[in-house]
């Protein structure tokens, strides 16, 4: 049997869901289907519309397979999400939206039993951003339904179950600020045993494990070969990191951008992570701990730009740098390196739309640079995802870190990494444009002004 070449990646992001066809020969996306991914605001609590997503996935598989025969399927999704299924694989409760504040009602009880940061590398986060808090809240509020659960699955593996009928879990999602995993012992945390959940934990498999072929009924529905393999899958930020793990020499860092901007440092400077500033320990696809930090940059970008055209000129950049028009953190509070500060504009009266866009881009870059500093990042930084196409963001990130920044040329960095699960090759995809630190003193002056203003507020 020939090695798989055309891999379809199911990529469920918090804002959008995508199904991408990746050519492993060129390590590029050759086709993409996309749909909005909005939670259902209805009883019993806000939850993901998994049936609408399932229809989108199957329709996309069928469409892409008509375009090019699909050799294998891989899966990647956002974190802080899991599913409780019964022995037949059906949901016993809807998949909870992590932005729902219900788990906060039990915060004091949950805080009393959750493991310390030193054990899990998981900071205490609001809403449902700690997956353990979600399941704790569901067990307390829906005991009869929870009691029917036969397996507790991470979100990528929920979709793998629907495709193959095989239950599994995987470390990149288990190790993503869940409170459920101890990255130092590579085992479930004390919370899992304390709540007697170990019996619910599906077997932990490697991200690159082939779980099985697609179910026959799905092969008939989509036109795929009944022997099409489905791989276990992984967390989306770690999918962005994987190509660099297998090809780049440390030290380096990767910034995965989407709804969340997640910064990950490999081989960086030793630092003590501060859980109060949304630093954490992720677990990469090889099972190793990775110092990480994050903020809700994609959501902030959407709120700040409100769909306005991304038009700017060199004069706009010059005006913002000279006037030092600053946006200070944080537009989205409760997470990120400045979780308790409210956004404030300085020297922004009468600015044009182009100048506003430039200042927003600079703000996002400076927030990212702060995250990179908190995790001891060193060496070049690769930006994956939508922000890689924002030249102002990339330029200010280079200026504020003093290190080279590589803007990835892949439209969806996560899809390349997820597709590599089906491959034995170790050559990463094309790096894209490399930008060194700007030499113009105005950029350095802007960085200093922003940091000084942030320090005064702190």
Give me the mean pLDDT over the 304-327 stretch. Answer: 93
- Rounded to an integer, what distance in angstroms lies between the CA atom of residue 229 and that of residue 210? 6
Q: What does the pLDDT average to over 137-164?
A: 98
Instruction: Say what the pLDDT of residue 431 is.
Output: 61
Residue 90 CB contacts under 8 Å (≥ 6 apart), including other chains? none
Q: What band does 3 get if pLDDT is binned at 50, 70 and 90?
A: confident
CATH number at 305 reads 3.30.420.40
C-alpha span between 343 and 237 (Å, rounded): 26
Question: pLDDT-derived band of residue 410, with 50, 70 and 90 as boundaries?
Answer: low
Q: For residue 427, what pLDDT band results from cuts at 50, 70 and 90? A: low
Domain-located, residue 406: yes
Residue 226 sits in the same domain as residue 163: yes
Final residue in a domain of this structure, among 181, 200, 232: 232
Q: Are residues 153 and 257 in the same domain?
A: no
Q: What is the pLDDT of residue 77?
A: 97
The answer to the question of residue 378 being in a domain is yes
Tell me the average pLDDT across 246-267: 93
124: alpha, beta or left? (left if phi > 0; alpha if psi -120 to 50): beta
pLDDT tens-digit map of 196-242: 999 999 999 999 999 999 999 999 999 999 999 999 999 998 998 99
For residues 223 and 251, membership in a common domain is answered with no
Domain encompassing residue 115: 6-232
Burial call 149-166: b when 16+ CB within 10 Å, e when fewer:
bbbbbbbbbbbbbbbbbb
Distances (CA, A) of 17 to 11, 75, 258: 6, 11, 11
Q: Do 198 and 342 lie in a common domain?
A: no
Q: How confident is the model at residue 458 (pLDDT cuts 50, 70, 90)?
A: confident
- The predicted model gives 397-402 an average pLDDT of 95
Regarding whether 272 and 402 lie in a shared domain, the answer is: yes
Percent of the chain with pLDDT over 90: 87
Q: What average pLDDT does this structure show over 110-124?
A: 97
- Mean pLDDT over residues 35-57, rounded? 97
Q: Is the pLDDT of residue 1 over 60?
A: no
Assess contact for 15 and 39: CB atoms under 8 A.
no
C-alpha to C-alpha distance for 98 and 78, rounded to whole angstroms: 10
CA 304, CA 36: separation in Å to the nearest integer?
19
Would the pLDDT of 424 be above 80? no
Output the pLDDT for position 333. Answer: 86
281 and 418 fall within a common domain: yes
Is 298 a domain residue? yes
Q: Tell me whether residue 1 is in a domain.
A: no
Confidence of residue 390 (pLDDT cuts 50, 70, 90): very high
Over residues 28-38, the mean pLDDT reads 95
Buried b (16+ CB within 10 A) or exposed e, 176-207: bbbbbbbbeeeebbbbbeeeebeebbbebbbb
Over pLDDT 70: what percentage of the chain?
A: 97
Same domain, 287 and 363: yes
Are 174 and 192 contained in the same domain? yes
Residues 225 and 257 in one domain: no
Q: Are residues 198 and 247 in the same domain?
A: no
The conformational region for residue 166 under phi > 0 = left, psi -120 to 50 = alpha, else beta, is beta
Average of pLDDT values for 96-123? 97
Asked, for residue 354, whether it belongs to a domain, the answer is yes
In a domain, 70, yes or no: yes
- Helix (H) and strand (E) counts in the chain: 16, 20
- The last residue of a domain, from among 188, 210, 232: 232
Query: What's the whole-number mean pLDDT along residues 283-292?
Result: 94
| More confident: 435 or 250 | 250
The yes-or-no verdict on residue 411 having pLDDT over 80 is: no
The pLDDT value recorded for residue 409 is: 74
Domain check: are 22 and 133 in the same one? yes
Asked whether residue 342 is domain-assigned, the answer is yes
How many domains does the chain contain in total?
A: 2
- The whole-angstrom separation of Cα 198 and Cα 76 is 24
Give the pLDDT score at 130. 97
Report residue 310's pLDDT band, with 50, 70 and 90 as the boundaries: confident
Domain boundary, last residue among 232, 249, 274: 232
pLDDT on residue 309: 79
The mean of the pLDDT values for the chain is 94
269 domain residue, yes or no = yes
268 and 159 share a domain?
Answer: no
Alpha-carbon span 139 to 127, nearest angstrom: 16
pLDDT of amino acid 246: 86
pLDDT score for 429: 47
The pLDDT of 349-375, averaged and rounded, is 97
């Amino acid at each position: 049997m020939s090695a798989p070449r055309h891999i379809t990646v199911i990529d469920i992001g918090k804002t959008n869901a995508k199904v991408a066809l990746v050519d492993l020969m060129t390590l590029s996306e050759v086709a993409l289907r996309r749909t909005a991914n909005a939670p259902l605001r209805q009883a019993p609590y806000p939850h993901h519309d998994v049936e609408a997503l399932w229809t989108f996935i199957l329709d996309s598989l069928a469409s892409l397979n008509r375009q090019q025969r699909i050799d294998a399927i891989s899966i990647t999704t956002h974190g802080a999400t899991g599913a409780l299924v019964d022995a037949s694989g059906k949901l016993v409760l809807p998949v909870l939206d992590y932005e729902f504040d219900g788990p906060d009602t039990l915060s004091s009880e949950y805080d009393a039993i959750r493991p310390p940061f030193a054990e899990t590398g998981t900071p205490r986060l609001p809403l449902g951003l700690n997956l353990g808090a979600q399941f704790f809240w569901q067990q307390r509020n829906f005991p009869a339904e929870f009691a029917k659960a036969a397996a507790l699955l991470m979100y990528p593996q929920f979709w793998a179950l629907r495709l193959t009928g095989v239950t599994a879990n995987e470390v990149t999602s288990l190790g993503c600020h869940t409170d459920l995993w101890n990255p130092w012992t590579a085992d479930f945390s004390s919370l899992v045993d304390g709540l007697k959940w170990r019996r619910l934990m599906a077997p932990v498999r490697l991200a690159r494990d082939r779980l099985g072929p697609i179910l026959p009924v799905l092969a008939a529905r989509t036109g795929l070969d009944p022997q099409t393999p489905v791989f276990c899958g992984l967390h989306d930020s770690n999918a962005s990191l994987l190509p660099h793990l297998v090809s780049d020499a440390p030290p380096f860092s990767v910034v995965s951008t989407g709804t969340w901007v997640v910064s990950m440092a490999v081989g960086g400077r030793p630092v003590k992570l501060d859980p109060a500033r949304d630093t954490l320990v992720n677990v990469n696809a090889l099972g190793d701990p990775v110092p990480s930090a994050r903020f809700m940059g994609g959501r902030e970008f959407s709120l700040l730009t409100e769909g306005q055209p991304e038009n700017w000129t060199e004069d706009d950049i010059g005006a913002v740098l000279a006037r030092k028009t600053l946006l200070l953190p944080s537009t989205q509070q409760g997470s990120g390196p400045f979780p308790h500060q409210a956004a404030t504009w300085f020297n922004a009266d009468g600015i044009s739309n182009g100048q506003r866009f430039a200042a927003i881009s600079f703000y996002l870059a400076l927030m990212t640079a702060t995250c990179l500093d908190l995790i001891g990042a060193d060496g070049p930084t690769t930006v994956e995802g939508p922000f890689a196409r924002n030249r102002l963001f990339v330029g200010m990130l280079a200026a504020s870190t003093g290190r080279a920044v590589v803007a990835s040329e892949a439209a969806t960095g996560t899809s390349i990494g997820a597709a590599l699960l089906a491959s034995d090759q170790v050559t990463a995809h094309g790096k894209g444009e490399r930008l060194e630190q700007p030499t113009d003193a105005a950029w350095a002056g802007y960085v200093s002004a922003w940091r000084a203003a942030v320090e005064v507020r702190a």
